């Protein structure tokens, strides 16, 4: 039995598999969408066009992509204007103004000034306003004046832009206040960079936990522990090394001659006398010098093995390595020479072979 098919069905079945797959939307809450977002984020983290905070940071890049998707904005535009201020994500003020102007619900933001002829007075300031396109209603923001700025202490911080470009800061703060009261959904509830740096959130009980020190004092306090730890350089104390004297011992174990004594001095590990004799104060553990004398004074292999067994009790690795070198040299010295063996050794008698079939 054969099934009939049409030309259109044959063309459709021969098409690429990707064309027949459903469209995948990048997101966090399904496997295919999450994998797609990861692939897109990997492309962004490897380019120099994104800010430094996103380069090589896959997680932050994925969060920025998610916010760009929710705001229907370009991902590069989001990354260029989303900052981290003390752990608080914050928008740049120009981005917030551009978002309000481009949303389509309101006319462009405008600014109204007060006491323009007295720029230094307490009442000098501005507020942002615009009109809603659907109703034509005027929406006013909060007045931002010098009285508010000085009461909040925004201009008292070192490096504050309120001292160098006050009018620009007035407009930025007025636009941020307008967006927070009239269209907080456009900023997704996030403050601006300038707000995060200036404004302190008060706890429900009216208290807040912020140090009153200036930026310079905070920086100086951060450097103080390091400065305390850094001790001034002191000249090194020069101690002349005194020649060591050893008590003479009687018996065959005592080293004879001066050659072996010179060898003991040459075999001392690098360092001062205290390091060389660091273990001499121990009650039971043998010292470096004692084991060295045993190695140099050994007359037989048995005596040498006894001295070698004490090397493992030395804690200093340098001293232990030095003693092992001495022991290896002494093994070669005490081993019988190769030419001492008999010149001819008795070879085992070789059995003569009888040819096969000789009998």
- Is the pLDDT at 136 greater than 90? The verdict is yes
Binning pLDDT at 50, 70 and 90, where does residue 10 land? low
pLDDT recorded at residue 11: 63
User: For residue 21, what are its two tokens?
Assistant: 């797959």
Predicted pLDDT of residue 160: 87
Q: What confidence tens digit (pLDDT) does each residue in 340-354 have?
A: 544 444 455 555 555
Q: What is the pLDDT of residues 178-199, one digit of tens each?
A: 999 999 888 887 888 877 877 6
pLDDT band at 162 (very low <50, low <70, confident <90, very high): very high
pLDDT band at 148 (very low <50, low <70, confident <90, very high): very high
Given a cut of 90, whether residue 147 has pLDDT beyond it is yes
Does the pLDDT at position 261 exceed 80? Answer: no
The set of residues, in sequence order, having a beta carbon less than 8 Å from that of 134 and lying 6+ positions away, is: 105
Residue with tokens 């007025």: 174
**pLDDT tens sequence across 164-173:** 999 999 999 9
pLDDT for 109 beyond 90: yes
**High-pLDDT (> 70) share of the chain, %:** 63
Question: Across residues 61-84, what is the average pLDDT?
Answer: 88
Q: What is the pLDDT of residues 222-252, one digit of tens each?
A: 444 444 444 444 554 544 444 444 444 444 4
Pairing state between β 144-145 and 88-91: unpaired
More confident residue, 21 or 153: 153
pTM as predicted: 0.48
d(CA 103, CA 93): 16
Radius of gyration of the chain (CA): 44
pLDDT class of 1 with cuts at 50, 70, 90: low
Would the pLDDT of 12 be above 70?
no
- For residue 255, give the 3-state DSSP assignment: coil
Backbone dihedral angles phi then psi of residue 221, each to the nearest 5 degrees: -65, -30
The pLDDT, as a whole number, for residue 83 is 86
What residue ranges do the domains of the chain occupy? 23-85, 86-200, 259-268+275-330
Give the DSSP H or E segment for 88: strand 88-91
Confidence of residue 299 (pLDDT cuts 50, 70, 90): confident
> 295 near 308, Cβ under 8 Å?
yes
Instruction: Please name the helix (run of DSSP H) or strand (run of DSSP E) that holds residue 84, with its range, or none.
Output: strand 82-85
pLDDT grade, residue 217 (50/70/90)?
A: very low
Mean pLDDT in the chain? 74
Structure tokens at 239: 């101690």
Confidence check: pLDDT of 327 > 80: yes
pLDDT value of residue 155: 87
What's the CA gap between 270 and 314, in Å, rounded?
Answer: 16
**What is the per-residue pLDDT for 17?**
62
Q: What pLDDT shows up at residue 27?
A: 76
Residue 256 pLDDT level (bands cut at 50, 70, 90): very low
């Amino acid at each position: 039995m054969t099934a009939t098919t049409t030309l259109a069905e044959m063309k459709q079945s021969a098409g690429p598999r990707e064309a027949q797959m459903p469209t995948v939307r990048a997101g966090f809450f399904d496997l295919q969408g999450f994998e797609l977002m990861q692939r897109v984020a990997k492309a962004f983290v490897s380019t120099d066009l994104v800010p430094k905070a996103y380069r090589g940071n896959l997680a932050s890049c994925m969060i920025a992509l998610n916010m760009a998707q929710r705001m229907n904005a370009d991902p590069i535009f989001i990354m260029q204007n989303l900052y981290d201020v003390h752990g608080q994500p914050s928008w740049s003020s120009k981005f917030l103004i551009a978002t309000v102007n481009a949303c389509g619900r309101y006319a462009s933001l405008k600014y109204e000034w007060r006491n323009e002829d007295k720029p230094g007075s307490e009442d000098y300031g501005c507020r942002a306003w615009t009109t809603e396109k659907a109703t034509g209603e005027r929406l006013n923001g909060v007045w931002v004046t010098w009285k508010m700025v000085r009461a909040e202490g925004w201009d008292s911080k070192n490096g504050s832009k309120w001292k160098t470009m006050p009018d620009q800061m007035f407009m930025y703060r007025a636009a941020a206040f307008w967006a927070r009261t009239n269209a907080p959904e456009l900023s997704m509830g996030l403050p601006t960079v300038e707000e995060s740096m200036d404004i302190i959130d008060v706890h429900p009980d009216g208290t807040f936990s912020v140090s009153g020190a200036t930026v310079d004092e905070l920086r100086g306090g951060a450097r103080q522990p390091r400065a305390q730890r850094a001790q001034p350089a002191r000249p090194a104390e020069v101690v002349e090394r005194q020649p060591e004297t050893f008590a003479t011992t009687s018996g065959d174990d005592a080293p004879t001659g001066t050659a072996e004594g010179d060898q003991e001095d040459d075999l001392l590990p690098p360092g001062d006398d205290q390091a060389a004799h660091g273990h001499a104060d121990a009650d039971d553990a043998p010292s470096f010098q004692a084991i060295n004398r045993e190695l140099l004074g050994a007359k037989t292999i048995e005596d040498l093995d006894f001295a070698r067994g004490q090397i493992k009790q030395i804690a200093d690795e340098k001293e232990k390595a030095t003693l092992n070198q001495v022991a290896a040299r002494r093994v070669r010295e005490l081993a019988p020479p190769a030419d001492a063996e008999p010149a001819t050794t008795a070879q085992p008698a070789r059995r003569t072979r009888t040819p096969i079939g000789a009998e």
